[in-house]
Chains A and B, each alone.
Chain A
Amino acid sequence: MPDTATPAPAPLSPAGGNAALRALLDGLPGVDEAGVHARVADLATRSVKTTAKAHAIDLAIRMVDLTTLEGADTPGKVRALCAKALLPDPADRTVPPVAAVCVYPDLVPVAARALGSTPVGIASVATSFPAGRAPLEAKLLDTRYAVAGGATEIDMVIDRGAFLAGDHRKVYDEIVAVKEACARPDGPPAHLKVILETGELASYDDVRRASWLAMYAGADFIKTSTGKVAPAATPAVTLIMLQAVRDFRAATGRQVGVKPAGGIRTTKDALRNLVMVNETVGPDWLDPRWFRFGASSLLNDLLMQRAKLTTGTYPGPDYYSAD
């Protein structure tokens, strides 16, 4: 058994084929579905109230990747999104800004102009989001375009077809290549979030295997979903990915973040996620650098619950901007 001080294993040799990768991933402990569901149900009974709730809501706001990923997105909508990201509640300036906005590559320059040098990050989906069905050259071009436009974070999708067909090598190599494309000549590379699209993976075992594959290939974050496929970020999938990053750090010393995305709409959903983080990986991950929510409508619910706690009355949704 490797001991604590073992450094990260050398990147897998390009000569190693699928068999080597499969042996590596199949060596991971299995996931028992009923057991995962029982644990999730148990954690969902945690009661987060009063001061704990106030702290958790602010933390959740700071973890939001405020997202718009529609074909009908406009520069105006993205500018509104950026304004909201910086100042989520104009009526209450104590509300912290969110972690990042998340937009399509062609709208990255708009976001970059709107956000300037603020601490709010600019995430962009790339690599032919959401299906990922394009040649590698196109995916890399997509990525470089977003990075050149000012993206500080790249949310890529894995090739689920290749993964399910057992071509782990292809998935791995693509992640490595996209990671290289995240480099920026004039500054730090864009952070790479790797979307597993767990709704298309066959089993929880595959969620765990895909998590490790992405982490070995260099992912800075592993992300559940595009938001375009149901089910998206179920609590069970997020729990399995949290266990994966915990075990990966124990094995390699490298910490990787987790981003559930899609389907997290209410404060209660967000708090349950934070409870899972707290009790699975601990406080090291309770930080926007290591845990994010990919969401759009979640933010308004967090703001309404926050207002309820601070003012005692629950404001209606009409008091908050819809976009």
Chain B
Amino acid sequence: MSDRPRPTPRPAPHPGPDSPSTPAATATATARPASASGALVYAPAPESRAVVSLRPAYGLFIDGEFTEPGEQTMTTVNPADEEALAEVATATEADLDRAVAAARRAFDGVWSRTSPSERGKYLYRISRIIQDRARELAVLESLDNGKPIKETRDVDIPLAAAHFFYYAGWADKLPFALPGVPAPRPLGVAAQVIPWNFPLLMLAWKIAPALAAGNTVVLKPAETTPLTALVFAEICQEAGLPPGVVNIVTGAGATGRALVAHPGVDKVAFTGSTGVGREIARTVAGTRKRVTLELGGKGANIVYADAALDQAVEGIVTGIFFNQGHVCCAGSRLLVQESVAEEVLHRLKERMARLRLGDPLDKNTDIGAVNSSAQLARIQDLARTGREEGGEEWSPSCELPSRGYWFAPTVFTGITQAHRIAREEIFGPVLSVLTFRTPQEAVEKANNTPYGLSAGIWSEKGSRVLWTADRLRAGVIWANTFNKFDPASPFGGYRESGYGREGGRHGLEAYLNG
């Protein structure tokens, strides 16, 4: 594969945002005029919080009813200002027994006997209520998670509704879900544990296929982001879903461990860190429980010299700065072909200088708050390691709010495969940049990781894209785009990124017996 020679019009890097020289200083060298008008300053455009009415305290949602919050509670805070949002119950083992028992009763008595088309109707109803309450859910998700409203409004909530719509359609078509299996049966009670990065969306990924296939569920949302799951419980009530089909239990790691280990569950579905995933795999080993795990990643985003560079830069930004980099399939390693590395970095830095960090509820915010102080500490620690290992750190100048958990979008150059920040999942807005010379080298570097969740390929040459995709060990490979999700498309990883697929027809396999 040879590269076309690219003659002169390649734009040269002029002093970028990282350069000490100001536009005024360079104006003498070029005929660059000073601007008479100045930048367009966007006035604050905050989305109203008034659409959200939170209760001061939430109990558990078991058997169609909310319990009293009880003695043991935890506080969920707004990571953008550290204000408390609500008290949430911590489920005890006794609570889990009741929740699993309710799910079992609902499975045996109601849900497995409900006709498939009736199950589909409930799912359709749930999707419509999610759409009806989309603004409320978007604001609440942003408050509880710290992610920008433009993402909850345009991605999280619409996709969550889309997943229910998609699986609603499957409910009465299960005979076509598994090849060679004309009458698949549901598994029973599913224990589902989800992360804090896409709270409602991960709930939808878990609950929609489970219910469509005829299972009942006990779901534990993440400790720091329980609120949209609790509003989802209200939505189940509003939809008239039979009691016990969906149970929501809140709590921290101990609650999750106990739920996964509970002898009354038939299926465990987990999305989260590889460390916890290993622990779950050990817990369920030797039991009858089926397991799917969607774990960490260290996705490679490969930019070839013949890529559409402006769009590749957008893809790099989407790959690592979407959702503050709290994305298991983030493109956290940029592999850029050496001949365009300087130019791509220059364009990337200019683009990053236009990212707007701040109030997550402002409609013009691109980068919101990090979800928790613990996560912030981990990002800061890994960034420090990157500096200590000799990586060159760069961030655009941006003022971080004084309260809340914030981390500026950051790029590390001078990084090799041997550096810790190029190997470990950071789960934050930190990009490690590596270069390569040949496609073989790109593939070797991309695959040199224990993970295998996602990868991106940027090239205008179709044969090169296919050649590369064939050789990458990753569950999801995007070509000339990144972080695109659709309910019809299966998602999942290789190796330490977990096993099983969610989404699409494949997502049903995890909830059906052949």
Contacts and interface: CB of A to CB of B under 8 A. Distances in A.
B154 A45 contact: yes
Interface string B26-54: 10011111011111111101000000000
Contacts of A52: 40-43
9 contacts: A27-B10, A38-B481, A46-B42, A52-B43, A253-B32, A278-B40, A284-B32, A284-B33, A289-B33
Contacts of B37: 59, 283, 286-287
A230 B502 CA distance: 43
Contacts of A278: 39-40
Interface in B134-168: 150, 154
Given A48-B40, A53-B43, A4 B315 contact: no
B9 A249 contact: no
Contacts of B8: 2, 9, 24, 27, 251
A282 interface: yes
B324 interface: no
A4 B15 contact: yes
A27 B7 contact: yes
Nearest to A20: B7
Contacts of B23: 284
Contacts of A250: 11-14
A196 B251 CA distance: 61
B306 interface: yes
A49 interface: yes
Nearest to A52: B43
B40 A274 contact: yes
A39 B314 contact: yes
Interface stretch (A28-36, A71-79, A117-125): A28-36
B314 A30 contact: no
Given A35-B480, A46-B364, A279-B354, A251 B43 contact: no
A30 to B, nearest CB: 4
Interface string A3-41: 111100100000000000001111111111011101100
A286 B42 CA distance: 14
A26 to B, nearest CB: 7
A265 interface: no
B373 interface: no
B314 A38 contact: yes
B108 interface: no
Contact of A27 (B6, B15, B40, B309): B6
A212 interface: yes
Given A284-B33, A289-B33, A6 B311 contact: no
B133 interface: no
B36 A287 contact: yes
B272 to A, nearest CB: 29
A1 B31 contact: no
B10 A31 contact: no
A277 B481 CA distance: 23
Contact of B31 (A23, A26, A53, A254): A254
A29 B309 contact: yes
A22 to B, nearest CB: 11
Nearest to B310: A243
A49 B13 CA distance: 34
Of listed B9, B23, B26, B310, residue having the most chain A CB within 10 A? B9
B322 to A, nearest CB: 11
A251 B40 contact: no
A255 interface: yes
B261 interface: no
A4 B32 CA distance: 13
A1 B354 CA distance: 25
Of listed B37, B39, B307, B354, residue having the most chain A CB within 10 A? B37
Nearest to B305: A29
A1 B12 contact: yes
A56 B40 contact: yes
B308 interface: yes
Contact of B42 (A1, A24, A48, A248): A48
A107 to B, nearest CB: 30
A246 to B, nearest CB: 8
A48 B44 CA distance: 9
A5 B40 contact: no
A4 B12 contact: yes
A250 to B, nearest CB: 4
B39 A283 contact: yes
Given A27-B10, A30-B460, A35-B308, A255 B39 contact: no
B392 interface: no
A313 interface: no
A311 interface: no
